[in-house]
Amino acid sequence: MDIKKNSGIILHPTSLPGGVGIGDFGKNSYEFIDYLVETKTKVWQVLPLGPTDEIEYSPYSSPSSVLGNINLIDLTNLSSNEGIKIEDKVFNEKFVDYKKVYDYKKEYLRLSSKNIDINEKEYQFFLEDSTIRKHLTFLTLDQKNKVSWNKWIDSEYNYTEQLFEFVIKEFESDFKFNLFTQFEFYKQWFQLKEYANKSGIKILGDIPIYVNHNSADVWSDKSLFDLDENGEMTYVSGAVPDDFTVDGQIWNTALYNWENNRLGNYEYWINKLQNNLDKFDYLRIDHFVGFFQYWAIPINETALNGEWRKGPWKNFFKEVSKNIPMSKLLAEDLGVILQETNQILKEYNIPGMKVLQQRIPSDGVNKEIHPHDWNQNIIAYTGTHDSPTIGQWFEESNDFQMRSFDEYKQKLKYSYSNDIWNFISLVWESPAILSVTTIQDVLNLGRSARFNIPGTKNDNWSWRLESMQELDITIDKLKELNENNSRVN
């Protein structure tokens, strides 16, 4: 990975204060970049920025791997919003009320899109991308049909350029809404990224390995996914049972037909990675181990009844590396690791991950090494978006874990009176090329600030900062931490 010894903060834009009931690409996102500059933190890590479903609102469950989440659009910075007036709403500033936010922003953005001219040069340039055309066509038809694509009429079952032209004419209002909102998303995101890069800040993005069955990806490239003759999934993705989830996990996303992907020289994956690397400086691939082996669960059964299947292994990375700068990639390699996974990471110099919360011994059986002895070519985390906050971790840890932590912190070169900061310091003092924590942990927050609990459906992804001023008391401390550990390059 072409990164110097740096540090980063995880903060999904939805968690920023301000906006209309949800963080967005507006003023506070720029202020957060200024905060990173002031603290000498060099990397801003975000979760996937794609559209989410309107049930669980997970960034990892999307109808498109290319399009953006329109709820991140700053309504005060639109190309077309003159004279738009809708009823003001009062929003919760502590947590995102997704349905309320979605309904409000959709209404505002739909009104803003009414008078755009599709034939304007900027929109036509945007539509030159064939993947954008496919995904906008899907989005428009999906909104009209309100059922999964494999139940659509024959004329809409497969993408063609003729279907694209038909959708523009037949469903002009809906298509204009989708075109306008995606154009605005991309415009605002690239403005923000340009500001970050000019300020010396790199953005680490995230891409799920799987996509939803009812997605533009599957609809437009059906042969690349594991489907029956009716377009239905017979097996779905998930995770094998382990110590953390004894029943395993069902993700319910589409599995790949890796043989057909191989025959197509992995063009779909190359295009998807390139599109995301255009948006981010670095890219974390979620569930990286799925390229080597993956857990396939029969439809309508529990994860306990799943089976291991072999992924594409070396052939995939050989083809991808011909087209993609592998030095921009990071592997989320948590879970069951094969020897072949480590070989690929080493061959292409792709850093894996270590999460300190998972690396502090909880019993006398499983041994771990001190963070000071971790490898250099890794990204070291205190926790991830799926983890408890450090404060919650301390509340729930057993006596053995606490004794282990006390032993770990005895080796700290720079220690604090606050154990949450000692926890962060352990990761910062590791040799890792990049050390990362969450903004919740920088603020010493507890369980109420947890962002996601895997395997649950309620109240996830909704935590927010209440004001940017909350960060002021952390500036000197975080800056000192970065300077003490030479993470200011």
**Segment 235-248, tens digit of pLDDT:** 999 999 876 678 88
Tell me what the mean pLDDT of segment 269-274 comes to.
Answer: 98
Tell me what the mean pLDDT of segment 241-257 comes to.
Answer: 87
Amino acid at 413: K
Query: What confidence tier does 456 reach under pLDDT thresholds 50, 70, 90?
Result: confident
User: What pLDDT, in 10s, does the model give residues 107-155?
Assistant: 999 999 999 999 999 999 999 999 999 999 999 999 999 999 999 999 9
Asked if pLDDT for residue 337 goes beyond 90, the answer is: no
**Higher pLDDT, residue 56 or 455:** 56
User: What pLDDT, in 10s, does the model give residues 206-243?
Assistant: 999 999 999 999 999 999 999 999 999 999 999 998 76
Q: What are phi and psi of 410, to 5 degrees?
A: -65, -25
Tell me what the mean pLDDT of segment 85-91 comes to.
Answer: 76
Amino acid at 19: G
Asked if pLDDT for residue 157 goes beyond 90, the answer is: yes
> Could you tell me the residue ranges of all domains in the chain?
6-484
Q: Give the whole-number percent of the chain exceeding pLDDT 70.
A: 99
Position 82 scores a pLDDT of 67
The answer to whether 183 and 23 are in contact (CB under 8 A) is no
Tell me what the mean pLDDT of segment 443-463 comes to.
Answer: 93
Q: What's the rounded Cα separation, in Å, for the pair 112 and 42?
A: 36
Position 30 scores a pLDDT of 99
Position 243 scores a pLDDT of 67
Asked if pLDDT for residue 260 goes beyond 90, the answer is: yes
Sign of the dihedral through C-alpha 100, 103, 108, 113: positive
The answer to whether 289 and 340 are in contact (CB under 8 A) is no
Query: Measuring CA to CA, which residue among 418, 482, 466 is closest to residue 444?
Result: 418
The alpha-helical segments, DSSP class H, found in 302-435 are: 314-320, 339-347, 390-396, 399-409, 419-428
Position 244 scores a pLDDT of 65
Position 245 scores a pLDDT of 77
Position 163 scores a pLDDT of 99
Exposed e or buried b for every residue in 107-116, given b needs 16+ CB within 10 A?
ebbbbbbeeb
Position 83 scores a pLDDT of 63
**Higher pLDDT, residue 456 or 208:** 208
Q: What are phi and psi of 378, to 5 degrees?
A: -140, 165
Of the candidate CATH numbers 3.20.20.10, 3.30.200.100, 1.10.10.10, 3.20.20.80, the domain formed by 6-484 belongs to: 3.20.20.80
Q: What's the rounded Cα separation, in Å, for the pair 212 and 277?
A: 21
Asked if pLDDT for residue 283 goes beyond 80, the answer is: yes
Tell me what the mean pLDDT of segment 325-351 comes to.
Answer: 92
Q: Coil, helix or strand for 408?
A: helix
Q: Which residues are catalytic?
A: 286, 332, 386
Query: What confidence tier does 398 reach under pLDDT thresholds 50, 70, 90?
Result: very high
Asked if pLDDT for residue 250 goes beyond 70, the answer is: yes
Model pTM score: 0.96
User: What pLDDT, in 10s, does the model give residues 372-394?
Assistant: 999 999 999 999 999 999 999 99
The answer to whether 62 and 212 are in contact (CB under 8 A) is yes
User: What pLDDT, in 10s, does the model give residues 9-31?
Assistant: 999 999 999 999 999 999 999 99
Position 35 scores a pLDDT of 99
Position 365 scores a pLDDT of 76
Position 242 scores a pLDDT of 76
